């Protein structure tokens, strides 16, 4: 039986890690809209060519084109047993367009997983990241600090904090996420599809909660 999932979660909630575990345990692909937009553009698919026109002009790709690219991806062999949508839908019109497209295909979403982590732990988690500008090694001031504070273990360069990892930038990203996602969560809750999963704690612990939400 196919398993068709949508995965929500704020930046820094551990969504990528949990998505990879779902891919391994369920044997279905993770479909990230950013990745498939770039891939469709590179492959020159009909929808990819449409998207390229907008992307090359620095414009947002319209919903109907994004949905068309998602549909192209869902037609590939590896997605016939199900899929995990990551980063889509982002808006109510996209959710409605996705439902209409799946309806034409005789398919439906099985579960929408919302990985929930309060804002402040996310700010602490993301703002602690440091990276090496030379060799690109990554560190975390709390969870994976370098041997010498502020210095890369690998090449000795001075570590930096990316602009988008600064607390004020993280809070702005979180606000955008909440503004976009709150109506979507309500939409899927009304359909009885939403499962809220506590994303705090160890990785294995969160994985067990997701399995429980999926009835495993």
CA separation, residue 96 to residues 17, 90, 163 (Å): 28, 11, 35
Residue with tokens 């016939």: 80
Active site residue: 4, 129, 130, 209, which one?
129
Tokens of 207: 């994985």
Catalytic (active site) residue 196: no
> Is 105 one of the annotated active-site residues of the chain?
no
d(Cα 216, Cα 214) in Å, to the nearest integer?
A: 6
**Residue 152 in tokens:** 């890369």
CA–CA gap between residue 3 and residue 36 (Å, rounded): 20
The catalytic residue among 21, 90, 111, 166 is: 90
Q: Of 150, 142, 153, 123, nearest to 10 (Cα)?
A: 123
Q: Is 130 a catalytic residue?
A: no
129 is catalytic: yes
Out of 76, 148, 162, 191, which one is annotated catalytic? Answer: 162
**Which listed residue (15, 73, 130, 209) is catalytic?**
15
Nearest of 189, 19, 187 to residue 87 by alpha carbon: 19
Does 162 participate in catalysis according to the annotation? yes
Judged by DSSP in three states, 162 sits in coil
Catalytic machinery residues:
15, 90, 129, 162, 173
């Amino acid at each position: 039986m196919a398993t068709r999932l949508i995965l929500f979660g704020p930046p820094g909630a551990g969504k990528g890690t949990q998505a990879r575990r779902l891919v391994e345990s369920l044997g279905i692909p993770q479909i990230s809209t950013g990745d498939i937009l770039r891939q469709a553009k590179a492959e020159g698919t009909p929808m990819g060519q449409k998207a390229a026109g907008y992307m090359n002009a620095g414009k947002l790709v319209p919903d109907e084109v994004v949905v068309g690219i998602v549909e192209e991806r869902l037609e590939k062999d590896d997605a016939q047993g199900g899929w995990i949508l990551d980063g889509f839908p982002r808006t109510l019109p996209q959710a409605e367009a996705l439902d209409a497209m799946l309806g034409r295909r005789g398919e439906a979403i099985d579960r929408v997983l919302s990985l929930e982590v309060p804002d402040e732990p996310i700010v602490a988690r993301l703002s602690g990241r440091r990276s090496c500008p030379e060799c690109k090694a990554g560190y975390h001031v709390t969870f994976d600090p370098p041997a010498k504070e502020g210095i890369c273990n690998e090449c000795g360069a001075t570590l930096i904090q990316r602009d988008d990892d600064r607390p004020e930038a993280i809070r702005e990203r979180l606000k955008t996420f909440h503004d976009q996602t709150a109506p979507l969560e309500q939409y899927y809750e009304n359909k009885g599809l939403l499962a809220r999963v506590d994303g705090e704690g160890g990785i294995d612990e969160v994985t067990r909660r997701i399995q429980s939400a999926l009835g495993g």
